[in-house]
Copies of this chain bind each other. A is one copy, B any other.
Amino acid sequence: MTQPQPPPPSASEAKTVKAARTRARILDAALALVEEVGYDKATMRAIATRAGVAPSNAYYYFRSKEELIQGFYARLHEEHMVVLGPALESAKGLREQLLAVVDTKLDVAEPYHASSAALYRAAADPKSPLNPFSEASRPVRDDAIAVFTDLLAGTRTKIPADLARQLPRLLWTWELAIILRWIHDDSEGRRKTRFLAERTADLIVKLIRVSTLPGLGPLRRSAVKLVAELFEEDAAAS
């Protein structure tokens, strides 16, 4: 299904090490170039030249330009994790903490805003590894979801157990939606995106509160059940 990728640790170590280095060089060149000149101008030829290899060599290690850019997400996510810790510490209450997550995410992503449309275009393809729902994106996705799991574990807000189980994935979907808005947002300081984030964070907290009302139990349960089924269906084969 996949290419050599990180060739399974077998055979002579020497060769493997060399390959891994070449692979890393290409990846570094790709990410640096995208950062400097944007996705479109970061051509495969330019990336290869910068890495000191032939264009087709990049295709030996990566199946497509998109896959080559996959490392992008991981890098963004790492940077996000670094700044998120302190931000969460100083955020009081669920609303503020939710906002801290997406606000820091947007901060970290800001340098790539110009490239984001091109990246999103690629990510829109169901078949692309850049697709946030893809198998290739799973490690980063699971980690991003875990952020919300941890956050909720530490909150004093009361949340029904069935809802609590689905909430991390729902909140991750919320984060995706905010990012989607951000991609389209050309207002100064991404004003519109920040506005959307704040207002929807308010709404989410209110909805969680309301969901504890006894009269709404049936509605909540059927909604939660639907969400659970949808996420599970993704896990199963199509």
Contact = CB atoms under 8 A, between A and B. Distances in A.
Nearest to A181: B230
A210 interface: yes
A125 B196 CA distance: 20
Contact of A125 (B117, B195, B222): B117
Nearest to A120: B124
B186 A238 contact: yes
A10 interface: no
A126 interface: yes
A203 B222 contact: yes
Interface in A206-238: 206-207, 210, 213, 215-216, 219, 222-223, 226, 229-230, 233, 238
Interface residues of A, number: 36
A126 B199 contact: no
A200 interface: yes
30 contacts: A117-B126, A117-B127, A120-B124, A120-B125, A121-B122, A121-B125, A123-B124, A124-B124, A126-B183, A126-B184, A133-B184, A185-B238, A187-B238, A192-B233, A192-B238, A195-B229, A195-B233, A196-B230, A199-B226, A199-B229, A200-B226, A202-B222, A203-B222, A203-B223, A203-B226, A206-B219, A206-B222, A207-B219, A210-B216, A213-B215
Top 7 nearest A-B pairs by Cβ distance?
A124-B124, A126-B184, A186-B238, A199-B226, A121-B124, A187-B238, A121-B125
Interface of A: 117, 120-127, 133, 183-187, 192, 195-196, 199-200, 202-203, 206-207, 210, 213, 215-216, 219, 222-223, 226, 229-230, 233, 238
